[in-house]
Amino acid sequence: GEISEENQKGKHTTTSARLIPLAAGGYVVDTPGIRQFQLWDVIAEEVAGYYRDLRPYINLCRYPDCTHTHETDCGVKNAVADGRLDVRRYESYCHLFAGDMV
């Protein structure tokens, strides 16, 4: 792409957002001029439901109000421990649950 002589940064020529599917699952959003997304009005207790890959393990938790962060006998944490759930997805969940991305 073109480089601006004024600030030596790339010129943003993209004019529309695109949702790009990834082969391994998930998506990348290409948005012109937007550097960061932020979430609002996120209820911590609902965050696990936002992760489709966590859903099969939520009902396996010992406690119905399990946050999947510190409880014993947690279906989600057990799935991470035995390799059924990717640790990076779990870490992403923990950050969002803690409010790190909100």
Domains of the chain: 44-98 (1.10.40.50)
pLDDT value at position 87? 96
pLDDT value at position 65? 94
Q: Please, how many CA atoms are within 13 Å of residue 94, restricted to the half-sphere of its CB?
A: 12
Per residue in 43-72, pLDDT tens? 888 888 889 999 999 999 999 999 999 999
CA distances 47 to 8, 21, 35, 72, Å, are 40, 22, 23, 19
Please list the ranges in the chain whose pLDDT falls under 70. 1-2, 10-14, 100-102
pTM over 0.75: no
pLDDT value at position 68? 96
